[in-house]
């Protein structure tokens, strides 16, 4: 089996939120799609280990915030590489609560949808939640973030708990001077720099200021290792 074939499947990128009582949480997912139109139903696949999974199981509700193409890596990292068991992911994030008490991220998102779970499908490590859409609104126009854009243009990384996680094949000749974040797998490429955070293309890793942090998960330079 060639796992690279799985990379040919296309996806978007979303923040999935839910609640349990007064607690709210959210996480990144790429696996959201519309199933039917009458009534409108959507599905999402969520890792059983994630806190958002526990919350959706409890409330039978979830919301989807559709990320804009220009959403910063830091927002995706905040919801994708941290656990709501350890931090409040909504601290410092602009959001609103819908009628059902579900949070919608309002910055760097194009739209939100809310759904009530109709059915759950056990998929070993994940549960597929199928829900009927109960509310939806467009917040602004623009291109939605796609999974391919996140990888290829933003050069973002993916946690091992993502359904689409495939260990990267690293071409030795292509990795000269690249450093990898040991926490999230983000690769700093000197040729590309980190323009989102003011680092120009052509800046060697060694020349990054000590204040520079992983643009995805926020750890410091010491957490990076040279790719060999």
Contacting residues toward Fe ion, per CB under 5 A: 181, 183-184, 186, 214, 216-217
**Cis peptide upstream of residue 209 (ω within 30 degrees of 0):** no
Of 130 and 227, the one with the shorter C-beta distance to Fe ion is 227
Of 76 and 216, the one with the shorter C-beta distance to Fe ion is 216
Of 111 and 184, the one with the shorter C-beta distance to Fe ion is 184
Of 12 and 80, the one with the shorter C-beta distance to Fe ion is 80
179: CB partners within 8 A, 6+ apart: 187, 188, 205, 224, 225, 226, 227
Which of 194, 159, 156, 188 has its CA nearest to residue 175?
Answer: 188
Of 94 and 196, the one with the shorter C-beta distance to Fe ion is 196
Output the smallest distance, CB 228 to Fe ion, in A.
19
Confirm if 165 and 158 have CB atoms less than 8 A apart.
yes
Output the smallest distance, CB 158 to Fe ion, in A.
11
Q: Compute CA 110 distance to the chain's CA centroid, rounded to the nearest angstrom.
A: 15
Q: Which residues of 111-122 are buried (b: 16+ CB within 10 A; e: fewer)?
A: bbbbbebeeeee
Output the smallest distance, CB 218 to Fe ion, in A.
7
Confirm if 19 and 72 have CB atoms less than 8 A apart.
no
Of 106 and 161, the one with the shorter C-beta distance to Fe ion is 161
Output the smallest distance, CB 181 to Fe ion, in A.
3
Confirm if 166 and 3 have CB atoms less than 8 A apart.
yes
Confirm if 163 and 71 have CB atoms less than 8 A apart.
no
Output the smallest distance, CB 217 to Fe ion, in A.
3
Output the smallest distance, CB 43 to Fe ion, in A.
29
């Amino acid at each position: 089996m060639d796992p690279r074939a799985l990379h040919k499947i296309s996806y978007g990128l979303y923040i999935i939120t839910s609640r349990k009582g007064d607690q709210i949480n959210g996480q990144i997912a790429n696996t959201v799609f519309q199933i039917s139109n009458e009534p409108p139903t959507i599905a999402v696949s969520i890792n059983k280990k994630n806190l958002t999974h526990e919350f959706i199981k409890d409330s039978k509700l979830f919301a989807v915030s559709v990320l804009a193409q220009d959403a910063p890596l830091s927002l995706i990292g905040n919801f994708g590489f941290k656990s709501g068991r350890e931090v409040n992911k909504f601290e410092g994030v602009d959001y609103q609560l819908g009628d059902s008490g579900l949070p919608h991220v309002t910055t760097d998102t194009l739209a939100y949808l809310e759904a009530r779970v109709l059915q759950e499908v056990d998929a070993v490590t994940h549960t597929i939640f199928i829900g009927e859409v109960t509310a939806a609104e467009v917040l602004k126009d623009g291109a939605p973030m796609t999974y391919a854009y996140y990888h290829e243009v933003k050069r973002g990384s993916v946690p091992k708990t993502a359904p689409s996680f495939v260990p990267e094949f690293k071409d030795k000749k292509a990795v000269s001077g690249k450093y990898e974040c040991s926490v999230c797998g983000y690769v700093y490429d000197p040729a590309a720099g980190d323009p989102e955070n003011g680092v120009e293309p052509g800046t060697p890793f060694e020349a990054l200021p000590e204040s520079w942090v992983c643009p995805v998960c926020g750890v410091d330079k010491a957490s990076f290792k040279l790719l060999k």
